[in-house]
Amino acid sequence: MSPDTRDASELHVPVLLERCLALLAPAADRDGAVIVDATLGMGGHTEAMLDAHPGLTVIGLDRDTEALELAGRRLARFGDRVIRVHAVYDEIGRAVRESGFERIDGVLFDLGVSSLQLDDADRGFAYAKDAPLDMRMDQSRGETAADILATAPEGRLRAIFERYGEEPLAGRYARAIIAARQSEPILRSGQLVEILQEATPAAVRDQRHPAKRVFQALRIEVNGELSVLERAIPAALDLLSVGGRAVIMSYQSLEDRFVKRLLAKRSASTAPQGLPVELPEHKPEFRLLTRGAELADDDERARNPRAIPVRLRAAERVRDER
């Protein structure tokens, strides 16, 4: 179906929608509230926030131009209450300033690959579908997964699979890819899956799909996801005014570990150990709104399988050190 005729509301079911709305509601209800949807996607979370809070403005960021187009049609009825920005989410500071604001009241991150990207076979994100090995969230720039497989030395491939896929067979897979590309370029997901399957011991193949972690690792490398995340979340927290709230949904352990550590650090006192009185400048900047990571309930998991791996964490700014 042509991108010009697709309905974003039929392509994507927002994950943990009601919980996100509840966590962001106190911030969204403020006079002239501004919330950044740092991963706009097809606009499901933003649409629900704008419907629930008539005075709210949402700045929606996405690196995927196709997603921005679909979201734009879905959100057109809200007029200038929604500002769409073609940007990677570590550009959140620039996006907020250029939208005419200095501080924000809330931010939502729904990390990982969107339904649009997963369901479009030509994007190459899914190992279950044979497609060109692209994997770029923004198809207007950057190297593709096929480019990396064609040029990366064995050591780099192994490092990618180990760091971003936590793949115990990283070395074996890297060697297999180097050997295979001597015969022909690895341009399609089906080729890569076949190479990985042949390089995997039978006992391991019986336990899990050999391609899952490698495809995750390549996607993260192509899009610089972890390095972007490590810049984006601190920048977003710094933009929040007192009482502002951050809600972050992660779908794999590397993302969630970073978010967990950062929120724990920003919600802890910085007072030196043994100090008899905690001075105001040592008080925590944030308070946690969730106990650990929240998961989707059984009903949502059954309705929407993409909610199965989600881990939600949230925090509220309680002190502004500026």
Integer CA distances (angstroms), 9 to 43, 97, 167, 189, 266, in order: 8, 29, 35, 28, 36
Task: Establish whether 45 is an annotated binding residue.
Answer: yes
Task: Establish whether 12 is an annotated binding residue.
Answer: no
CB 186 within 8 A of CB 149: yes
Q: Which residue has the tokens 């309680």?
A: 318
> Phi and psi dihedrals of 59, rounded to 5?
-100, 115
Task: Establish whether 89 is an annotated binding residue.
Answer: yes
Taking CA 41 as the corner, what is the angle to CA 250 and CA 311, rounded to the nearest 5 degrees?
15
Q: Is the dihedral of CA 73, 74, 76, 82 positive or negative?
A: negative
Rounded to whole angstroms, how far apart are CA atoms 98 and 196? 45
Task: Establish whether 117 is an annotated binding residue.
Answer: yes
For helices 225-239 and 253-266, angle between their N-to-C axes, nearest 10 degrees: 30
Task: Establish whether 62 is an annotated binding residue.
Answer: yes
Binding residues, as ranges, are 43-45, 62, 89, 110, 117
In the annotated binding site for S-adenosyl-L-methionine, the residues are 43-45, 62, 89, 110, 117
